[in-house]
């Protein structure tokens, strides 16, 4: 597969622009709009009002399998970014992608973990009880390095924050195109926002802002702002002045952080939240940034832990 140009299958349709979107926003979308004509695009509308027909996503291959069908071999997998999982498939009628898909599959089965940039078309499945599940029909993909992934994180964070800002402005406005235009909401976001407000109602967009801040911290290589914690569940107070632990650095800090994180998860019968792992590392002199990098490495590279719910971790 390599790190060259994006491998893309052919299509006779006029292509919609590809939106950058984190997994947490796409996976929580439940409003499909199906095109009526043969070449009319279909969309999945997110809670922030993004009308997604095609997407540019990136992350670590979390799972990959070959599926033999009557139409020929196809592939299905999961791509993990900093916020969650994208489901994707490579169809039997895209044989030009199959050689690279086989390479991905072979490397995944060997235990390799690597970053991929993927272009695809948004899809949805509706269950009998009305549930909607999203996925991506892959049009092209290529392996990328960590610096390229950080660029994708930063640009996707910008695109998501633009939608969050528009969504927040819309709360104070009447749900009409003229009102949104008067309120200086970008014209390209208005149709999706109107549809989202009608379908989803009031949406708490703070979860997407948290995802953006985490992505920014990863892309810039800095620690996100410290959160304020109450002292209700802290240890019993003592008049003694506690000594600040001496910071440890380099390979010693990385090894110690891995040991502490794995011990915390092993000793818990339930997933452990992100901040608990960070505080456990900080208590022995490991910086927040080092702890975050080790968590990401254990999840995305070594595949020793998983994140079943955003912000909570357990042994894989």
Pairing of strands 132-144, 115-126: antiparallel
Least confident range from 72-76, 79-83, 299-303: namely: 299-303
pLDDT of 187-217, one tens digit each? 999 999 999 999 999 999 999 999 999 888 8
State how far the Cα of 259 lies from the Cα of 172, in Å rounded to an integer.
Answer: 49
Architecture of the domain made up of 1-201+209-224: Beta Barrel (2.40)
Most confident residue range from 17-21, 98-102, 126-130, 145-149: 98-102
Q: What is the pLDDT of residue 245?
A: 64
Cross-strand bridge partners of residue 203: none
Q: What is the 8-class DSSP label of residue 288?
A: H
Percent of the chain with pLDDT over 70: 86
- Residue 15, pLDDT score: 57
**How confident is the model at residue 39, as a pLDDT?**
73
pLDDT of 222 > 70? The answer is: no
Residue 303, sorted as left (phi over 0), alpha (psi -120 to 50) or beta, turns out to be left
Q: Residue 226 above 50 pLDDT?
A: no
Per-residue pLDDT reduced to its tens digit, 159-196: 999 999 999 999 999 999 999 999 999 999 999 999 99
Q: Is the pLDDT of residue 90 over 50?
A: yes
Contact 217, 227 (CB under 8 A): no
**Contact of 50 with 163, CB cutoff 8 Å:** yes
Return the percent helix, strand and coil in the chain, to nearest 5: 40, 25, 35
Type and span of the H or E element at 149: helix 146-170
pLDDT at residue 307, rounded to an integer: 79
Q: Which of these ranges, 13-17, 25-29, 236-240, 268-272, has the smallest mean pLDDT?
A: 236-240
For 11-59, the pLDDT digits (tens) are 444 557 889 999 999 999 999 998 877 678 899 999 999 999 999 999 9
pLDDT at 234 over 50: no
Q: Is the pLDDT of residue 127 over 90?
A: no
| Residue 176, number of CB atoms within 10 A of its CB | 11
- Residue 244 has what pLDDT? 52
Average pLDDT value for residue range 118-146:
89
Output the average pLDDT for the chain. Answer: 84
Residue 224 CB neighbours (<10 A): 17
Share of the chain above pLDDT 90, in %: 53
């Amino acid at each position: 597969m390599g790190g060259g140009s994006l491998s893309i299958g052919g299509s006779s349709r006029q292509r919609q622009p590809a939106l950058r979107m984190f997994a947490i926003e796409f996976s929580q979308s439940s409003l499909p709009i199906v095109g009526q004509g043969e070449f009319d695009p279909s969309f999945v509308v997110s809670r922030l009002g993004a009308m997604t027909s095609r997407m540019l996503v990136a992350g670590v291959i979390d799972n990959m399998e070959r599926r033999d069908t009557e139409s020929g071999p196809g592939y299905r997998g999961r791509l993990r970014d900093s916020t969650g999982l994208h489901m994707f498939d490579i169809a039997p009628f895209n044989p030009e992608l199959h050689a690279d898909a086989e390479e991905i599959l072979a490397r995944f089965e060997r235990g390799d973990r690597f970053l991929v940039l993927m272009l695809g078309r948004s899809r949805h499945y509706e269950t009998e009880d009305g549930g909607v599940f999203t996925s991506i029909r892959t049009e092209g993909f290529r392996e990328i390095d960590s610096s390229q992934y950080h660029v994708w994180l930063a640009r996707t964070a910008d695109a998501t924050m633009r939608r969050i800002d528009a969504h927040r402005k819309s709360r104070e406005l009447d749900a009409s195109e003229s009102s949104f235009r008067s309120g200086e909401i970008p014209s390209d976001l208005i149709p999706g926002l109107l549809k989202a407000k009608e379908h989803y109602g009031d949406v708490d967009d703070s979860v997407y802002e948290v995802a953006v801040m985490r992505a920014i911290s990863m892309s810039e290589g800095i620690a996100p702002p410290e959160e304020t914690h109450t002292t209700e569940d802290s240890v019993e107070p003592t008049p003694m002045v506690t000594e600040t632990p001496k910071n440890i650095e380099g390979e010693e800090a990385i090894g110690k952080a891995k040991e502490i994180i794995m011990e915390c998860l092993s000793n818990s019968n339930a997933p452990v939240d992100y901040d608990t792992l960070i505080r456990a590392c900080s208590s022995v002199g490991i910086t927040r940034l080092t702890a975050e990098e080790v968590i990401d490495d254990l999840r995305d590279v070594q595949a020793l832990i998983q994140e079943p719910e955003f912000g909570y971790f357990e042994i894989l």
